[in-house]
Structure 1
C-alpha cells in the first residue's frame, strides 16, 4: 500500500509565541524566546502528552475530499430524488476541521438531520476506502516524528473532530496507530467539541493544562487549547486560511519541527 507523501521543504522554520499577522521572521536553529507572554507560566520540561489533530496536521484529504463529498451528494440525490446543490472546493475547505454535524449543517441547511446523516455516512465510507487504497497525502516525516516522540516517553493522543474509523484509517495507513493511546472522539452527547476531547484526556490521565500540548492547524485546535489552558503548536502548513489562528506558542512549518521544539524548549 502506498500513500503519496507531500514533498514540502524540510528546512527549519519556527516561530515561538507569535501571532498570525504580518512580520514573520525566521528563528535561528535551536533558538527559542524565553520572554514570550504566552509562555509566561509555562515550563517546557513539564510536557507529558501531545494531542494531535489529524486532517491538516498529519494528513491532507484536500486532494480527494471534494470528489468524495460530491459523489456522496449525487448518490443521495439519485436514491432519494432530492436535488442538492454541490459545494465548491473553497466552500468545503472552510468547513474542514469542524465537528462533522456542524460541517453538514452548514453545507446542507436545506436538508433535515436524517438526510444529512445519510450523506455523512457515505462520505465516511468513501473516504476510508480511498485512503486505504492509497489516496490522500501524508505530510512528510509523520511516522518518524511520532515514533520518535513516543520513544522519548510522551503520551501520544489524537484530538480530532473526525469520526473514529476515519482517524484510525489514517493512523493505520501512516503506520503509527500503535503509538496512540485509546482514541477519544465526539459522541455529540457528553463530548461535543474538541475542547471537551482535550478535557477528557486531561481527566483520564490526570494531566495539568501545562502538561499537554495541542498540535493542529485550524481554529478548533486553537480553541481547544485555550479552553483548557494548554499550550498550542500551530501547523501553518495545514488548511487554515490566512489570519484564522490569532496566536500560538509555536509555529511548525513541518511536523518534524516538533522534535526540535521539544528538544530545545527552555526549562
Structure 2
C-alpha cells in the first residue's frame, strides 16, 4: 500500500518569502497610520519565528500591545497575504508541481498540514490548483492545542494510516513526524535552521531530491 506524505506549506511548498515582506510592511504601515507603531518593520524577527501559529507571531512582534491590536494586525496581515497571492506575487518552490504530480500518479496519498490559517491556505491551493494532487489541506485552526503534532495525528486518524512521512522546514514538522511514528524529511530552504534540521531523519536541499528520498524510505520499510 503506498505511503502517505504530509507537507508543510510555508517554506516547504510555497515561497512565502516572496509575499512576506510586502505584506508585513503594509501591515506595519497600517499600524503606523493608527499611531500604534513607530519603529522599523520587524521583518527579520518574523523570519526567525516563521512556522509558529499566527497568535504566537503577534505576541512576539507586538509584545507590548493589547490583544485587540494584535488581532487587528493579524486580520489586516492575512488580508494582504491573500491579496498578494491572488495577484500572483508568490510562487511555489521549483519542481513542486512536477514532484507532486509524479507522487500522485504513483499512488501516494498527499496532504498539507500547516500553521497557516484556513483562508490563507485556501488562497494558495486555489491559485496553484494544488488540489489536483493533494487530497486535503489542513490548518492549525482545526486543532484546539495549536500543536502541529496534534494536527498530523488528526490527519492520520481521519485517513487511517500509520506509515508515511512529514516534509517540512521547521522543528515543529520534524517533531510532528517523530511523535506520530512517521519519517521526517527536513527542507533546507528559506526559513530552515541547521540546529532544527539536525533532528530530521532526512534532509533535502531542493524539492527535486524528494523523489529519491521517498524511494530510500520505501526500501527501509519494505
Please list the CA deviations of residues 43-89 of structure 1 after superposition, one character each: whole Å capped at 9, or x if unmatched.
xxx7621100011111112133123112112213424x323534333
Report the structure, 1 or 2, having the larger helix content. 2
Query: CA-atom RMSD, angstroms?
Result: 1.9
> Aligned residue for 1:31?
none
Q: What CA distance in whole angstroms lies between the structure 2 residues aligned with 1:111 and 1:178?
A: 42
Aligned length: 219
Please list the CA deviations of residues 80-132 of structure 1 after superposition, one character each: whole Å capped at 9, or x if unmatched.
x3235343332110111111111111111111222111111111111111111
List alignment gaps of at least 5 residues for structure 1: 1-45
Larger relative contact order (CA 8 Å, sep ≥ 6): 1
Q: What CA distance in whole angstroms lies between the structure 1 residues aligned with 2:2 and 2:177?
A: 14
> Aligned residue for 1:71?
26
Q: What CA distance in whole angstroms lies between the structure 2 residues aligned with 1:193 and 1:86?
A: 31
1:217 to 169, 173, 177: 169
CA-CA distance at 1:188 after TM superposition: 7.2
SS in 1 for 2:6: strand
Question: Structure 1 length normalisation: TM-score?
Answer: 0.75
4+ runs deviating over 6 angstroms: none
> Aligned residue for 1:55?
10
CA shift in 2, pair 1:168/1:199, >3 Å: same
List alignment gaps of at least 5 residues for structure 2: none
CA contact (8 A) 2:143 2:150 kept: no
> Aligned residue for 1:168?
122
